[in-house]
Structures are given as C-alpha cells and as structure tokens.
Amino acid sequence: MTERLFEGADWDFHTLQRITDACEEVATKDLGLDVYPNQIEVITAEQMLDAYSSVGMPLFYKHWSFGKHFAFHEASYRKGLMGLAYEIVINSSPCISYLMEENTATMQTLVIAHAAFGHNHFFKNNYLFKQWTDADGILDYLDFAKNYVMSCEERYGRVEVERTLDAAHALMSHGIDRYPGKKKLDLRAEEKRAGRRRQHEEEVFNDLWRTVPKGASKTRSALSIERRRKLLGLPQENLLYFLEKSAPRLAPWQRELLRIVRHIAQYFYPQSQTKVMNEGTATYVHYRIMTKLHQQGRITDGNFLEFLQSHTNVVFQPEFDDPRFSGFNPYALGFAVMQDIERIVTRPEDEDREWFPDIAGKNDVMGVLRDVWANYRDESFIAQFLSPKLMRHFRMFHLHDDPEERAGIRVDAIHDDRGFRRVRRELARQHDVGFIDANIEVVDVDLSGDRRLILHHHVIKGSQLNETDAKRVLQHLADLWTYDVSLIEVDANDKVLREYVVSPRPITAAA
C-alpha cells in the first residue's frame, strides 16, 4: 500500500509538495493533461479579498472602483453574508494558484487538483485562450500597465487619469474584438490566390450573366460614404479600439490607457465564454484525481468523505422554484455533461448512439474529453453534447416570456422527444455572449458636418438598453470623443426605436 499523503487536517509546505506531486502523477499519467508549470501560493483571507477586488490578478493598476469592490466584499465577508472562494487561479505561465490558508489538507488537495491541473489544462489547451490570451506575457503586461498608469498620474494628474479610466471602464464590455483579425497574406500567397480566383472565374464563366440587368449604379455621395467608412474601419464594434485609433483629440497617453483597458478586457473575454466548460473541466479533473488518490490509498476514507461533501456542495443545482436558485450552476452543468460524455463513450445506450454517433462507444474517454476541452466554448459545447438523458435528469424546460402575451409565460418546450432539440438550442443560446451583450457598433462619423459619432444598437427580441446607464456610458464616450455622440436603437427591420444624443462635458480647468 502506498504511503498516505497526510494525516488529519493539518498541512505544511512539505505536505503541499507531496500533494502536488501525487496530483501531477495522476493528471499526467492517467488523464494525459498538458499543463503550464505550476506556482502555488498560500494566502490569507485579506489577501483573497485583495485579489477579489482587482479581478483576481496579482497586480493591477490603482483605481477607486477596486477600492469600492474591496469595501463591498469586505463588508459582506465580515457580516458572514459571503464565504470566500477556496482558490483563485490565474491564466498565466507559470500558472499561479492561490490557496487559502484556512483550508484543511483535504481541501488543499481538492483545490490543487481543481486549479493547478484542471483549470491549468483548460487554459493551456482551449482554442479561445490560445487565440486571445498570452499566458507568458500577461503578468509582465499588468506590471507595465500598473507602472504606466502610475507615471501618467504623476505627469498629468490623478484626476485626468481617473477620468480617462472611468470612461474606459464604462466601455470595457465593448472593447473586445470578437473575431480574430484578418491575417496579412504574404505576396506569394496573394499571387496564388489571385490565380485561383481567375481560374475559378474562367471555370464558371457563363455569358448569360452579362444579360442580367444591373442595379442602379452608386451615386457619388454613397461612394464617398463608403470610402469614409472604409477609411475609419467602420462599422466597428470595438468601441475602445475605435476611440484609441480615431478619436480626434485624445493625448497619446490617453490612447495608451484605452489600449491597456482594452487588452485586459480582451484577456478576460475567453473566460466569460467558457464558464461552464472551464469549471466543468476543473471539477471533472479534481473528481478523477481525488477518486484515484483514494483508490491508491493515499487519502483516507475520512478525507474522501470530506472531499465528497464539499464536492457535492459545489455541484449542487437547485431547482427553479428553490429560493436558492439563481440560474444554472456552471460547476453542476459542466461536470454533469462531462460525466455524461464519459458514460456515452464507455457505456452508450441506443439513444446515445443515435444522438452521438461520433463518440458513442469509442472507449477513449480522455481522448474525447481532451478534444472537447480544446475545441469548444460554452455555447457550442452545450449545443453539441447536452444529451437527452441529462435534460431528463435536470428536468429542463424552456420558458418564453413575451410581455405582449396576456395569458402569461408560455412553456415552449420540455424534456420530451419534441422538446430536446429546442431546449438544448435555447440553453446554448443562453451561454452565447453574442446574445448576452448588447450589439453596439460605430457606424459612421459625420466628418463633413459636426463630427458627430453615430452608433447603432441592433435590438434583439425587443430588449433595449437601460436608459440611465446608457446615458451615463454615452456621456463617457462623448467625453473621450469630444464631440457629440448619438446612439440609435434599431430593430431587425431598421426601425428606429429610440435615439440618444449626448454632448461632451466641458473639461474644467481646475483640476
């Protein structure tokens, strides 16, 4: 029998080392995980609160809003309204995991398995993180950002810097590139492509097309609008990027500040799209590792029961009419789907063979899961892998709430044969950031007139912007743009629903 990792609840740094080694053995040998080097840091409750208020990052620039969040978290923590997380993990290389000092040895094992191996693997392998984040560079970048903000404050005054950062923060959710930029082709590739295009044209040439009547040719003004929009890169949905590049009267340091906020928003963009998957992966991994450690006799039955207790707390999903209910628990959903994939791969039923012909009975659980972890985000993950069995297990149903409907809220689909696909599609949509965030883009600038910036909000399903907040954000936007800004809310038929016009505030000379 192998040696126990620890006895009782106490741990020291040697214990942590042993635990990490044991977890790593299971993670790499049994699960085939591929992780960044780990760095494990033990912190106190106060430091955990610190980390909370600076979005979990170990270093961050100074801003009053972080102080506000700290005060808020501290107040609710002191009153016992809020427990603290057992850990925080940072998508960086080395991957930093913060462990709370209060945790028992079992909890530390759980947390190390969860964060240092589960999350870590996900960060390193998921395509979104690969595409949008630079784990090697993030800490250096944050360090740069912190120092840059500080030097700006020294040079241009705290008030000015704060004003710019306030504005940038308000626009943060719209400072993200949602699609990777076009890759520049080199000349040779371009030539090849031109050749292919010509060849294609020759192949599909049909003289008949010449006789099809053309639409009216574009007028001169339409052409100039088109040219202008192309020049400014419009339409542009990344508002911060647009301001950074095109706002007429920003100082270079202000542009750099916008850039910093934009980069940080971009860094967190994958996390908002992969909550279910990220937590599901980490939960699945810690469950596998802990079970294995228990099988090997490295942790006692008592330890394992302690683990199971907190594990079941984490993956608890209250039902919709439960007072504790606040939406789907990403841990519960992610873990359930991943366990279900394991079942489908190893012990499929006829239904599964029908629904998941690609993976049913494939028997290579980790191979399938690693592929899932690498190539999906929440929306596609649910759309692809939520099985009828699981929908029945959660007893899912779909509600459609149309304010126009007098009779009330309609139950649109339930967990039955007719409803499976519809429920699954709706749940996937609920996890699609494209549907969650308002679709706002810069469409034009009145360059020949008063330089007004024109934005459109494409309203989906009649859900418009909150008016007070929208006005405030637009005020910030106008302050940066320094000319009038108008936001037009249009529905799918280009009907204007509401229009905002905001003028910039005069900058007081006092400060």
Partner 1 sequence: MPIHIIDRRLNPGGKSLENRQRFLRRAKSLVQGAVKKTSQERDIKDVLEGGEVTIPLDGMHEPRFRREGGTRDMVLPGNKKFIEGDYLQRSGQGSAKDSGPGEGDSEDAFRFVLSRDEFVDLFLDDLELPDLAKRKIAQTESEGIQRAGYTTAGSPANISVSRTVKLALARRIALKRPRKDEIEELEAAIAACTDEDERVVLLAQLEKLKAKTKRIPFIDPLDIRYRRFETVPKPVAQAVMFCLMDVSGSMSEHMKDLAKRFYMLLYVFLKRRYKHVEIVFIRHTDRAEEVDEQTFFYGPASGGTLVSSALHAMHEIVRERFNPSDWNIYAAQASDGDNSYSDGELTGMLLTDKILPVCQFFAYLEVGEAGGSAFDLSDSSLWTLYDRLRNSGAPLSMRKVSERSEIFPVFHDLFQRRETSQEKAAP
Please report, as residue ranges, which positions from 98 to 157 form the binding site for partner 1 (by CB under 8 A): 98, 101
Residue closer to partner 1 by CB (options 65, 199) is 65
Of residues 408-437, those binding partner 1 (CB under 8 A): 408-416, 418-419, 423, 426-427, 429-430, 436-437
Q: Write the binding mask 160 to 189 for partner 1: x where contact by CB under 8 A, - elsewhere.
A: --x---x--xx-xxx---------------
| DSSP codes joined into one string, 247-295 | -TT--HHHHHHHHHHHHHHHHHHHHHH-HHHHHHHHHHHHHHHHHHHHH
* Nearest distance from C-beta of residue 299 to partner 1, angstroms: 19
Find the part of the chain contacting partner 1 (CB under 8 A) among 138-146, 229-237, 248-256, 458-466. 458-466
Of residues 11-50, those binding partner 1 (CB under 8 A): 13, 16-17, 20-21, 24, 35, 37-44, 46-47, 49-50
Of residues 348-387, those binding partner 1 (CB under 8 A): none
* Nearest distance from C-beta of residue 329 to partner 1, angstroms: 9
Number of residues that bind partner 1 (CB under 8 A): 101
Q: Cβ of 138: how many Cβ atoms within 10 Å?
A: 18
Q: What does R_g of the chain's alpha carbons equal in angstroms? A: 27
Q: Does 88 bind partner 1 (CB under 8 A)?
A: no
Q: Among 198, 347, 400, 505, indicate the residue that binds partner 1 (CB under 8 A).
A: 400
- In Å, what is the CA distance from 221 to each residue of 224, 226, 236, 436? 5, 9, 21, 36
What amino acid occupies position 246?
S
- In Å, what is the CA distance from 357 to each residue of 26, 204, 361, 364, 387? 30, 37, 9, 14, 12
Q: Among 139, 247, 438, 454, indicate the residue that binds partner 1 (CB under 8 A).
A: 438
* Nearest distance from C-beta of residue 23 to partner 1, angstroms: 10
Q: Which helix (H) or strand (E) holds 99?
A: strand 95-100
Q: Write the binding mask 315 to 334 for partner 1: x where contact by CB under 8 A, - elsewhere.
A: --xxxxxx--xxxx------
Q: Does 395 bind partner 1 (CB under 8 A)?
A: yes
Q: Does residue 94 have a cis bond before it (omega within 30 degrees)? A: yes
CA 405 to chain CA centroid, Å, is 34
Q: Which pairing describes strands 496-502 and 485-490: parallel, antiparallel, or unpaired?
A: antiparallel
Buried b / exposed e over 367-394, threshold 16 CB at 10 Å, is: ebbbebbbebbbbbbbbbbbbbebbeeb
Of residues 43-62, those binding partner 1 (CB under 8 A): 43-44, 46-47, 49-50, 53-54, 62
Residue closer to partner 1 by CB (options 37, 180) is 37
Of residues 469-498, those binding partner 1 (CB under 8 A): 469-470, 472-473, 476
End-to-end CA distance of the chain: 71
Q: Does residue 235 have a cis bond before it (omega within 30 degrees)? A: yes
Length of the chain: 511
Q: Does 64 bind partner 1 (CB under 8 A)?
A: yes
Q: Among 7, 8, 29, 67, indicate the residue that binds partner 1 (CB under 8 A).
A: 67
Question: Which pair of tokens denotes residue 52?
Answer: 């909370």
* Nearest distance from C-beta of residue 256 to partner 1, angstroms: 20
Q: Among 463, 493, 494, 508, indicate the residue that binds partner 1 (CB under 8 A).
A: 463
- In Å, what is the CA distance from 231 to each residue of 212, 222, 224, 240, 246? 32, 14, 10, 17, 10
* Nearest distance from C-beta of residue 173 to partner 1, angstroms: 6
Residue closer to partner 1 by CB (options 40, 359) is 40
Residue closer to partner 1 by CB (options 70, 304) is 70
* Nearest distance from C-beta of residue 206 to partner 1, angstroms: 45
Residue closer to partner 1 by CB (options 162, 444) is 162
